[in-house]
Amino acid sequence: MGIADPGILPRKLGYQFSMLQLADHVLGRDSADRILGSYRQRLREQVLETLPERAPEPTPVERVRDLSRDDFIRHYREPGIPVVLEGAAADWPCCKRWTIEDFKQSYGDDEVLLNDHDDDQEEGFNDDLKLRITTLREALTLLDNENYVRFYPLFQRHPERLADMDMQWLLERSHRPAFAQHWQVFIGGKGGHTPYHHAAAGNLFVQVQGAKQWQLMPVAQSAYLDPQTRYGISRGPSISMHNPIYERIPHYELTLEPGDVLWNPPYMWHTVTNTEDSLALGYRWLAPQHAMRISPVYTISDLTQMHPPMWQVAKLAKEELALVPLLLAIRSGKVTDPQLIAYAEKHRTKAAPPAATRPDAEQVVA
Residue 270 or 347 having the CB closest to ligand AKG? 270
Q: In the stretch 124-163, what mask flags binding to ligand AKG with x, by CB under 6 A? A: ----------------------------------------
Q: How are beta strands 193-197 and 269-274 bridged, if at all? A: antiparallel
Residue in 236, 250, 259, 282 binding ligand AKG, rule: CB under 6 A = 282
Closest CA to 283 of 197, 171, 189, 196: 171
203 binds ligand AKG (CB under 6 A): yes
The CB-of-349 to ligand AKG minimum distance in angstroms stands at 27
The CB-of-178 to ligand AKG minimum distance in angstroms stands at 16
Residue 194 or 295 having the CB closest to ligand AKG? 194
Residue 281 or 352 having the CB closest to ligand AKG? 281
Residue in 17, 76, 155, 186 binding ligand AKG, rule: CB under 6 A = 186
The CB-of-1 to ligand AKG minimum distance in angstroms stands at 17
Q: In three state form, how does the secondary structure of the chain look?
A: CHHHCCCCCCHHHHHHHHHHHHHHHHHCHHHHHHHHCCHHHHHHHHHHHCCCCCCCCCEECCEECCCCHHHHHHHHHCCCCCEEECCCCCCCHHHHHCCHHHHHHHHCCCEEEEECCCCCCCCCCCCCCCEEEEEHHHHHHHCCHHHCEEEECHHHHCHHHHHHCCHHHHHHHCCCCCEEEEEEEEEECCCCEEEEEECCCEEEEEEEECCEEEEEECHHHHHHHCECCCCCCCECECCCCCCHHHHCCCCEEEEECCCCEEEECCCCEEEEEECCCEEEEEEEEECHHHHHHHCHHHHHHHHCCECCEHHHHHHHHHHCCCHHHHHHHHHCCCCCCHHHHHHHHHHHHHHCCCHHHCCCCCCCCC
The CB-of-145 to ligand AKG minimum distance in angstroms stands at 10
Residue 20 or 256 having the CB closest to ligand AKG? 256
The CB-of-214 to ligand AKG minimum distance in angstroms stands at 8
The CB-of-194 to ligand AKG minimum distance in angstroms stands at 3
Residue 186 or 252 having the CB closest to ligand AKG? 186
Residue 250 or 282 having the CB closest to ligand AKG? 282
CA distance 77 to 89: 18
The CB-of-309 to ligand AKG minimum distance in angstroms stands at 21
Residue 203 or 222 having the CB closest to ligand AKG? 203
Q: How many residues bind ligand AKG (CB under 6 A)?
A: 8
Site for ligand AKG in 245-274 (CB under 6 A): 270, 272
- Sign (positive or negative) of CA dihedral 239, 185, 212, 56: positive
The CB-of-211 to ligand AKG minimum distance in angstroms stands at 11
The CB-of-262 to ligand AKG minimum distance in angstroms stands at 8
| Cβ within 8 Å of residue 196, ≥6 positions away | 125, 215, 217, 225, 236, 237, 241, 246, 269, 270, 271
Residue in 17, 72, 152, 205 binding ligand AKG, rule: CB under 6 A = 205
Residue 47 or 216 having the CB closest to ligand AKG? 216
Residue 205 or 252 having the CB closest to ligand AKG? 205
343 binds ligand AKG (CB under 6 A): no
212 binds ligand AKG (CB under 6 A): yes
Binding site for ligand AKG (CB under 6 A): 186, 194, 203, 205, 212, 270, 272, 282
